[in-house]
């Protein structure tokens, strides 16, 4: 498979190339670039790129934190990076965040190229240009916009990824396509996405997801309106992910978060269990998410260990909320994703808590 398209951004267009074999061919063309790679590739990358300066980074949540930045920047300086250096990032979402961030601030900004190596990186975080960096206990509190110059996606790279990690990325693709609208979601489902899927279908799913995301990031690059819809599932999801001390992975937590957001409307007095009766797409979406969540065999134990009050505390401190309202991304009766301001009240919090308890109850051991 070989497919390319451009993404327009405020600092110019950049290319997305979905290309079987790109990991071997395109990566070895990068002779003068400094590679920042997931430590997972510590044994294999030197075989592919002998005698190349590479900085390996453990792809843990702590690596994408403000605390970790000074040491990394010193390592980059010791490796000789100057204004002519281009960074190459090899890894999943954590490496994307780290590389976007350091490329945006090192010597006031260098260009970078990205080779995503996880489903999540391929279907979502490789485009959009944002870095999301943790500060102490606060997830994604600071960040920058600094899109890559090119993104090279080789679907074959994920063949060794565990199925739960693949499911985690597939959930993000499902979310992006669902947010874009029924036609995109139907085309997404036609790719028959599941962990271990054929590379050809995987390539088509990646393309579908990135083309859906392209619309959001081109009409609203800086997260003022339309792009905020892509946070669907994230307000609940980040709270669950954080409360599990990142034992529940991002995409899996987002899957649970989407189910909580849907449940929230069913918990309203005017809503009830039939809230989505006029939108059959919701049933398809929920059942697809449920299938993906089943691939994470550690989920029942991790969910059972969660403290709902802690999830609530984290949800209440989400940075999207306003002074007088909680900002939630929800779905209306027609199946359209919408931004809703929910009044800060005891009743609202009870509805939130009840939605969370109901969904977590379905998945706990």
Residues that bind ligand GLY (CB under 6 A): 96, 125, 128-130
CA-closest candidate to residue 116, choices 126, 124, 101 = 126
Q: Residue 125 or residue 267: which is nearer to ligand GLY going by CB?
A: 125
Least gap, CB of 126 to ligand GLY (angstroms): 7
Q: Residue 114 or residue 276: which is nearer to ligand GLY going by CB?
A: 114
Q: Please report the sign of the dihedral spanned by the C-alpha atoms of residue 74, residue 76, residue 78, residue 83.
A: negative
Q: Residue 9 or residue 244: which is nearer to ligand GLY going by CB?
A: 9
Which residue sits closest to ligand GLY, CB atoms considered?
128
Pure H helices in 181-249 = 182-190, 199-219, 234-243
Least gap, CB of 306 to ligand GLY (angstroms): 25
DSSP assignments along 274-291, one per residue: TTTTT-THHHHHHHHHHH
Given a contact cutoff of 8 angstroms between Cβ atoms, the answer to whether 256 and 359 are in contact is: yes
Least gap, CB of 217 to ligand GLY (angstroms): 7
Directed axis angle between helix 250-266 and helix 346-363, to 10°? Answer: 120
Given a contact cutoff of 8 angstroms between Cβ atoms, the answer to whether 250 and 350 are in contact is: no
Q: Residue 59 or residue 342: which is nearer to ligand GLY going by CB?
A: 59
Q: Residue 145 or residue 163: which is nearer to ligand GLY going by CB?
A: 145
Rg (CA), the chain: 20
Least gap, CB of 125 to ligand GLY (angstroms): 4
Least gap, CB of 119 to ligand GLY (angstroms): 14
**What secondary structure letter does DSSP report for 345?**
S
């Amino acid at each position: 498979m070989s497919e390319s398209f451009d993404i327009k951004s405020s600092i110019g267009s950049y290319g997305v190339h979905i290309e079987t074999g790109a990991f071997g061919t395109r990566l070895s063309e990068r002779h003068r670039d400094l590679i920042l790679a997931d430590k997972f590739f510590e044994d294999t990358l030197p075989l592919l790129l002998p005698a190349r300066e590479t900085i390996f980074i453990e792809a843990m949540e702590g690596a994408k934190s403000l605390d970790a930045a000074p040491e990394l920047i010193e390592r980059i300086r010791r490796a000789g990076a100057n204004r002519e250096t281009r960074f190459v990032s090899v890894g999943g979402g954590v490496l994307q965040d780290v590389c976007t961030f350091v490329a945006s601030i090192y010597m006031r900004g260098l260009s970078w190229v990205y080779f995503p190596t996880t489903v999540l990186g391929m279907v979502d975080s490789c485009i959009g240009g944002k870095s999301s960096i943790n500060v102490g206990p606060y997830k994604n509190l600071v960040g920058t916009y600094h899109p890559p110059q090119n993104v090279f996606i080789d679907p074959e790279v994920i063949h060794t990824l565990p199925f739960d990690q693949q499911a985690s990325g597939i959930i993000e693709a499902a979310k992006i396509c669902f947010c874009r609208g029924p036609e995109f979601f139907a085309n997404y489902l036609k790719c028959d996405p599941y962990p271990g899927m054929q590379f050809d279908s995987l390539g088509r799913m990646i393309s579908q997801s990135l083309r859906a995301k392209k619309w959001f990031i081109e009409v609203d690059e800086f997260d003022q309106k339309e792009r905020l819809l892509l946070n669907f599932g994230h307000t609940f999801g980040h709270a669950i992910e954080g409360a599990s001390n990142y034992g529940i992975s991002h995409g899996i937590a987002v899957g649970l978060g989407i189910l909580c957001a849907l449940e929230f409307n069913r918990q309203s007095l005017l809503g009830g269990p039939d809230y989505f009766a006029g939108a059959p797409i919701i049933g398809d979406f929920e059942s697809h998410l449920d299938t993906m969540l089943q691939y994470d065999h550690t989920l029942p134990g991790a969910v059972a260990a969660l403290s709902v009050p802690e999830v609530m505390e984290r949800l209440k401190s989400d940075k999207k909320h306003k002074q007088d309202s909680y900002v939630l991304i929800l779905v209306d009766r027609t199946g359209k994703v919408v931004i809703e301001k929910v009044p800060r009240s005891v009743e609202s919090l009870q509805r939130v808590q009840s939605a969370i308890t109901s969904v977590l109850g379905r998945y706990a051991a």
